[in-house]
Amino acid sequence: MDLKSLRHFVALVEHQGFARAGEAIGLSQPALSRSIQTLEQRLGCELINRSGKGVELTPQGRLVLEHAQRLLAGSTAMRNALRQFNDLQAGELLLGAGPFPAAGLLPRVLGQFNRRHPGVRVHMEVQHWVALRQQLLAEQLELFVADIRELEHDPQLEVTPLQQQASQLFCRAGHPLAGRTDLTPELLAEYPLASFRVPDRILQDLRRTLPRPEPLISLECDNLDVLKRLVQHCDALSIGSLDTLSDELAAGSLALLDWPALMPGTSFGLVTRRQRPLSPAATAFIEMLRTQGQVPDPTVTTD
């Protein structure tokens, strides 16, 4: 099978048009059309419905698209592995991160990784755990670090818990509740709650520890940096760990509220696909997590 034709077909679907796809891949529209026709002839079926609007796939086209994406991802992974084999002088690390680890843990580890392997291109996708799982299974990511409370029993995933941190309530400096020691659920409920998207189990915990009228979360944002800036410009309350709030607390732009920890921990985890080999770059990255005490060493047993 000609991978070039498959790349052309995937580009056509992604860009939803011959002109846009041809421009994106540096191919003229007639040449792209001929490439798709040649692919159809080789496969013995039509891949797109030419009587519809846009790029409408036939049932065979949808099947071919699924396999083409998998083949192309495997081809990319193979080329990366070969480039990386020579002491990680080149290659790519495709990494996903939830909002909390993207704001605290991962920048430190990635800084160390870049200093040690400057030739490796790193792409970090910051999303909530649902999107990261989809991208991992589609082989658009090789691993991710995010909340694992709804992933631990997924048969397709290998999940390794990381260090836990308590989550605390915070607000902007100068907030009417900042510095008060007489806080009650009724007082807290007077102010909106801003948060990243959280698993259902966490919502249940929050309803017990922070009772308030529905909706529980009034402002939702999966980018923690944006969330912190939002809180600095309004009276909303939010949730964070000391690790992710340290800079703003030191600068005096945010303040912790005198309220017990809302959850037992942040429940980060390292997630990979079960029974899939990792690239040298991913293996090196995980080893750096381990040296910082974040990932348990599987060769070490405890009594």
In single-letter form, the type of residue at position 80 comes to N
* pLDDT at residue 86, rounded to an integer: 54
Average pLDDT over the chain reads: 84
Beta bridge partners of 271: 144, 159
CA separation for the pair 192, 35 (Å, rounded)? 55
How many of the other CB atoms lie within 10 Å of CB of 61? 22
- Cα separation, 186 vs 113, in Å, equals 46
Angstrom distance (rounded) from CA 200 to CA 198: 7
In the predicted structure, residue 298 carries a pLDDT above the cut 80: no
What is the pTM for the complete model shown? 0.55
User: Quick one: what percent of the chain has pLDDT higher than 90?
Assistant: 27
pLDDT class for 303, splitting at 50, 70, 90? very low
- Are the beta carbons of 143 and 268 closer than 8 angstroms? no
**Could you report the per-residue pLDDT of 113-160, keeping only the tens digit for each?**
999 888 888 999 998 888 999 999 988 999 999 888 888 889 999 998
The letter for the amino acid at 56 is: E
**What is the mean predicted confidence (pLDDT) over 191-217?**
79
The pLDDT value given to residue 200: 75
pLDDT bracket for residue 76 (50, 70, 90): confident
Q: Crossing angle of helices 59-84/280-291, nearest 10°?
A: 70
Is 273 a residue whose pLDDT tops 50? yes
pLDDT given for residue 78 in this prediction: 74
pLDDT tops 80 at residue 222: no
pLDDT band at 164 (very low <50, low <70, confident <90, very high): low
* C-beta atoms surrounding 250 within 10 Å: 9
The reported pLDDT for the residue numbered 172 is: 96
pLDDT tens readout for residues 241-259: 887 888 899 999 999 999 8
Each residue's pLDDT tens digit, 32-59: 889 989 988 888 898 888 776 778 888 9
To the nearest 5 percent, what fractions of the chain are helix, strand and coil? Answer: 45, 15, 40
Task: Please say if the pLDDT value at position 213 is more than 80.
Answer: no
Residues 45 and 295: their CA atoms lie apart, in Å, by 49
Q: Is the pLDDT of residue 267 over 90?
A: no
On whether the CB atoms of residues 137 and 156 are closer than 8 A, the answer is yes
Cβ atoms 212, 193 nearer than 8 A: yes
CA nearest neighbour of 135 among 193, 79, 94:
94
Rounded distance between C-alpha atoms, residue 210 and residue 203, angstroms:
10
Calpha distance 110→58 (Å, rounded): 43
* CA–CA distance, 6 with 36 (Å, rounded to integer): 8
- Express each pLDDT in 166-186 by its tens digit: 788 999 999 999 999 999 988
pLDDT of residue 3: 84
Q: Which domains does the chain have, with CATH numbers?
A: 3-81 (1.10.10.10), 85-164+267-291 (3.40.190.10), 168-256 (3.40.190.10)
- Polymer length of the chain: 303
For β-strands 48-49 and 254-256, DSSP reports them as unpaired
